[in-house]
Amino acid sequence: MISLFPIILAAGQGTRMRSALPKVLHTIAGKPMLQHVIDAFEPLSVARIAIVYGHGAEQVRQQITGKQLLWALQAEQKGTGHAVQQAIGLAQDNDLVLIAYGDVPLIRSETLTELAQGLGQATLCILTTKVANPKGYGRLLRDTSGKVVAIVEEKDANVEQRLINEINTGFMVARASDWKRWLKQLTPQNAQGEYYLTDCVGLAVAEGWLVNTVLCEDSQEVEGINNRVQLAQLERVAQRRQVEQLMLNGVTVVDPMRLDIRGKVTAQMDTYIDVNVVLQGDVVLGKNVVIEPNCVIKDSTIGDFCHIKANSVIESAIIADDCDIGPFARIRAGTVLEAEAKVGNFVETKKAHIGFGSKVSHLSYIGDATIGANVNVGAGTITCNYDGVNKHQTVIEDGAFIGSCSQLVAPVTVGAGATIGAGSTITKNAPPDKLTLTRAPQKTIDNWKRPVKE
Ligand code: UD1
Ligand code: CA
């Protein structure tokens, strides 16, 4: 059986990014561009992928993941041919070696498959595309019958060749044994003094082999990123792809230009997303969820029929069905809302489990807390979870009622059905079904007068 062995070139410096971060680690849709290329091979179920790395070596190796990665160091970057020379030894002679670039993040799995299959009876197959302005790219040279004869780089091309608008994307496939033979013959005798991988095309033709091409219709898919302007352009393309997928799956997106997905989002039918929403990491949305403007939701699950009101921020939370959140709520990591819970405006929660139908409607901090079902937490209630050194738990049992502006000094438990009088500072457990309060009795001073200005 012939196996497909991708080699991804990612050693280049990316000078034009003007960044301390290696180019291939800059993100598109929240994911490093190199990771996009690796993930595009996922459906092709390849056993191994070689990455040629060099610039920012340590950072790249730390941040890029994949179970099947092999790393080939190219300490000095002497051209694309030199880069492949560093990794080709990892391939078995009859492997189909597919060369890919780490700075082409929008490449689709379908195109990689087409390229691999495009080899057919030929010895080398090149992924090409047609562009209005071919400046900077390698051009495909063909004879009068249309057969590929070579690739010429911009800097080595004559005036006539520079008019050719079919360009080399850099993605190519051939058998490892053929690559090995051609790579040995490369010389840096060209305008850039580099070992050009593209010279392998001329070598294959000189040996009498047939060179095939596969044309990529959408040139944006194979566009490489060299600077932050191109990074932003391809970010928009990536966003449009993702948002369109969401819409085709039955989600209403009020303005596709004003939803950003930086991660993996799944959503059920008839969910509605208003403008300026950012979804990050792994986000799961149920059906008929409404997300109002300016919300940020990260690594969270939102149940059916939830209503997330404007300007809410939700991170690492699990929200069950029919919950009501915001406006201006901050749901922090470890928050769990059971069905029909409500967290209102200017409420912050952290590691809080809020039970069925319970309400924290206004101006509260609920941290390290377990709240039962049908609890009402009055406006301005604070769980005092931190003694300056350690964090402590607050437990509020089913049906309790916490009067407004109370402080619950943890560790403390409020029993089921208990009522806490407004403005209390609760430092000891409050028994079930009773009224507990720490408020000083109200008094009126009869002969008191307001001070007057001297
Ligand atoms: C290359 C092609 C050109 C093609 C263009 C498409 C060659 C000689 N030229 O040109 O025909 O139209 O890509 O974008 O192949 N890299 C290394 N090590 C190196 C040099 C490059 O790993 O020593 C990597 C880069 O990180 C990048 C890729 O190879 O991912 C392409 O390198 P780049 O310098 O951008 O090639 P171009 O000159 O644009
Ligand atoms: Ca390039």
Note the pLDDT tens digit of each residue in 387-444. 999 999 999 999 999 999 999 999 999 999 999 999 999 999 999 999 999 988 899 9
219 residue type, one letter: S
What pLDDT score does 67 carry? 82
Q: Are residues 208 and 311 in the same domain?
A: no
12 Cβ closer than 6 Å to some ligand 1 atom: yes
What pLDDT score does 111 carry? 98
**For residue 244, what is the domain's CATH number?**
2.160.10.10
In the structure, ligand 2 is a single-atom ion and the residues with CB under 5 Å from it are 224
pLDDT one-digit tens code per residue, 237-246:
999 999 999 9
**Does residue 406 form part of some domain?**
yes
Ligand nearest to the CA of 128: 1
Q: How many helices (H) and strands (E) does the chain have?
A: 7, 37
Q: Which residue, 203, 222, 241, sits at the end of a domain?
A: 222
Q: Are residues 112 and 162 in the same domain?
A: yes
Q: Are residues 79 and 187 in the same domain?
A: yes
- Total domains in the chain come to 2
**Does residue 452 form part of some domain?**
no
3-class DSSP state of 102 = coil
Average the pLDDT over 132-155 and give the result. Answer: 97
Where in 299-341 does DSSP place strands (E)?
A: 301-302, 307-308, 313-315, 317-319, 324-325, 330-331, 335-337
Determine the Cα–Cα distance for residues 167 and 131; give it in Å rounded to an integer. Answer: 7
Q: Are residues 335 and 377 in the same domain?
A: yes
pLDDT one-digit tens code per residue, 82-103:
999 999 999 999 999 999 999 9
Pairing of strands 166-175, 96-101: antiparallel
| Residue 307 annotated to the active site | no
The boundaries of the domain holding residue 343 are 228-436
What pLDDT score does 110 carry? 98
**Does residue 99 form part of some domain?**
yes
* CA 223 to ligand 2 centroid distance, Å: 9
Q: Which residue, 166, 192, 222, sits at the end of a domain?
A: 222
Q: Are residues 314 and 179 in the same domain?
A: no
Determine the Cα–Cα distance for residues 344 and 347; give it in Å rounded to an integer. Answer: 6
**For residue 47, what is the domain's CATH number?**
3.90.550.10
CB-based contact 338:322 (threshold 8 Å)? no
**Does residue 23 form part of some domain?**
yes
Average the pLDDT over 379-383 and give the result. Answer: 98
What pLDDT score does 1 carry? 64
**Does residue 94 form part of some domain?**
yes
**Does residue 122 form part of some domain?**
yes
Q: Are residues 350 and 416 in the same domain?
A: yes
Average the pLDDT over 143-167 and give the result. Answer: 97
104 Cβ closer than 6 Å to some ligand 1 atom: no
pLDDT one-digit tens code per residue, 224-236:
999 999 999 999 9
56 Cβ closer than 6 Å to some ligand 1 atom: no
* CA 61 to ligand 1 centroid distance, Å: 20
Average the pLDDT over 121-125 and give the result. Answer: 97
Q: Are residues 235 and 379 in the same domain?
A: yes
Q: Are residues 112 and 168 in the same domain?
A: yes
Average the pLDDT over 261-288 and give the result. Answer: 98
**Does residue 444 form part of some domain?**
no
Query: Cβ-count burial of 23 within 10 angstroms (0-12 exposed, 13-18 middle, 19+ buried)?
Result: buried
* CA 101 to ligand 2 centroid distance, Å: 9
Q: Are residues 292 and 419 in the same domain?
A: yes
**Does residue 443 form part of some domain?**
no
pLDDT one-digit tens code per residue, 338-375:
999 999 999 999 999 999 999 999 999 999 999 999 99
Segment holding 217, helix H or strand E: none
In this structure, the chain runs to a length of: 454
Q: Which residue, 222, 255, 275, sits at the end of a domain?
A: 222
Ligand nearest to the CA of 136: 1
Q: Are residues 185 and 299 in the same domain?
A: no
Determine the Cα–Cα distance for residues 161 and 152; give it in Å rounded to an integer. Answer: 8
Mean pLDDT for all residues in the chain? 97
Q: Are residues 361 and 426 in the same domain?
A: yes
Of all residues in the chain, the percent with pLDDT exceeding 70 is: 100
Q: Are residues 251 and 210 in the same domain?
A: no
CB-based contact 186:164 (threshold 8 Å)? no
Average the pLDDT over 2-18 and give the result. Answer: 93
Query: Residue 407's Cα: distance from chain center in Å?
Result: 39
What pLDDT score does 302 carry? 98
